[in-house]
Amino acid sequence: MFKIYEDLLNLKATSGNENNVRKYMKNFIEKYPNYEIVYDNLGSIFAYKKSKNKNAKTIMIAGHMDEVGFMVSSITKNGHIKLQPTGGFKPEVLISQVMDLHLDDETVIKGVIGSLPPHIKEANKVEIKDFLLDIGATSLEQAKEFGVKPGQMVVFPSNFAYTANKDRFISKAIDNRFGCGLALEAIKHFNNIDVDVNLYIGATVQEEVGLRGAKTSVKKFRPDMFIALDASPVNDLEKIEMAGLGEGFLMRIFDPRNVMMQGLINYFKSVATKNNLKYQPFISLGGTDAAAALDENGGILATTIGLPARYIHSSAAIADFNDIIEARKMLFNIVENINESELNKIKEGYID
């Protein structure tokens, strides 16, 4: 199944331009006839399977399709491209990066990001507004002749590769093709397995610019529990302070918009312990789609199964397939065993 992740990582899809990933996921889901394919009005895609239990609760499991990137903002008179970020970046990671600009007809033209020389910048401070994408055009008119227009997607080139340690891999967009890949694994796994909950399994749009697809999907499909599948940044080069590669999935106990309920913490710990799964409690300064789901529809049990990754929101990150395996085991165990009684116990604090 790891081929799924390589396929997804090599696709290009920034916020508002998720169609490449959506097509891949749609084609995959169509192989499993026990699901109905459903969408929200922004383009989030889910495989839906109704439980045979007439009173079943509903679980939604979601990665997100979009990766961080840019769109063409405008073209200078010299033919350079000004960029609008779609997602968060540290500006210094962009200097001298080769980028792919996608024209309306899906042709890709190459460019390189430059910045103003240090001696003409105030205080030598790098900001994204200083960068221009140089596509080799000699003028505004020539850039237009190439087919460049405002709104077109600009993204890092595909660069998937295994490291010398074959458990680990390098790629753009690990945030969050991991979640899309694990969602597809779950769709395949549960195609012929009856569970005690209604299932929505898929991926949202526009997570990187405000968790927008999660909001619309949750409002439309009204789950009782929401599990985001997402990658999170770890800094374990010198020592493991909070989390590291190869140490298991991330149990996100806190982020600025979602404090994990004690019942969910107890439940996750119970499932992981019973099944000998490796996990890492994790505190984050960022958010996932679970934050958008949390306070919709009167409140939803919402949390994240996370993948530790180094260097996300840059041109390339690194992750470990062993952590994906632990995340997969955790997700499958939850789906196989969750029911109305377990959900009620979670709400009450989950004393196992």
Which among 214, 173, 209 is positioned nearest to 309, based on CA atoms? 173
Annotation marks residue 207 as catalytic: yes
Contacts of 276 (CB under 8 A, 6+ apart): none
Catalytic residue among 18, 67, 185, 207: 207
Q: Which residues pair with 75 in a beta bridge?
A: 81
Beta-carbon neighbour count of residue 330 at 10 Å? 23
- Residue 202 DSSP SS3: strand
Cα 230 from Cα 306, distance rounded (Å)? 5
**Size (the chain), residues:** 352
Q: What span, in angstroms and rounded, lies between the C-alpha atoms of 343 and 352?
A: 12
Q: Which residues pair with 269 in a beta bridge?
A: none
Token duo for residue 279: 């996990």
DSSP string, 115-136: ---GGGSGGG---GGG-EEE-S
Distance of CA 300 to the CA centre of its chain: 20
The per-residue DSSP string of 260-294 comes to PPHHHHHHHHHHHHHTT--EEEEE-SS--HHHHHH
Catalytic positions: 207
